[in-house]
Amino acid sequence: MMQVEVTSQALAAMRAAAAAAHPSEACGLLLGEGARITEARETRNVHPAPQTHFEIDPQALIDAHRAARGGTGPEVIGYFHSHPAGPPAPSATDRASASGDGRVWAIIAGRDVKFWMDGEQGFVALPFTMIDG
């Protein structure tokens, strides 16, 4: 099973985004290389019901993929979002909107952050290690 490495800065950024967006859901991109997340980049939540759903700003996602392909930015490892009320686990809505593309999802509830792999068989919990950065 894959283990994710995440920088302390990326964890702090996700927690700060979740706190600032409350009672709406925060969301953003997990950037880095391989299984190492070095940046959590907050994006606008463009979903019309942000209290219970999230949708990453499509332009931010396109820009991040372009930068990664062009060699001027880190790769898009996955996504993060917060659950203002509920556990840091994939909700029914998350499961319904997941694409099974193998990306990593981080879900924040309060200060608790859990990582998940969005695989063909659904979400699988991933262990993580915090690293300096």
Half-sphere exposure (Cβ direction) of 84: Cα atoms closer than 13 Å? 15
**Res 1 pLDDT > 80:** no
Catalytic choice (25, 39, 42, 55): 25
Q: How many domains does the chain have?
A: 1
pLDDT in tens, 77-88: 999 999 999 999
25 is catalytic: yes
Range of the domain at 28: 4-131
CA dist 16 and 12 (Å) reads 6
CATH number of 61's domain? 3.40.140.10
pLDDT in tens, 8-38: 999 999 999 999 999 999 999 999 999 999 9
Q: pTM surpassing 0.85?
A: yes
Q: Which amino acid is located at 53 in the chain?
A: H
CA dist 30 and 79 (Å) reads 5
Residue 56 DSSP one-character state: B
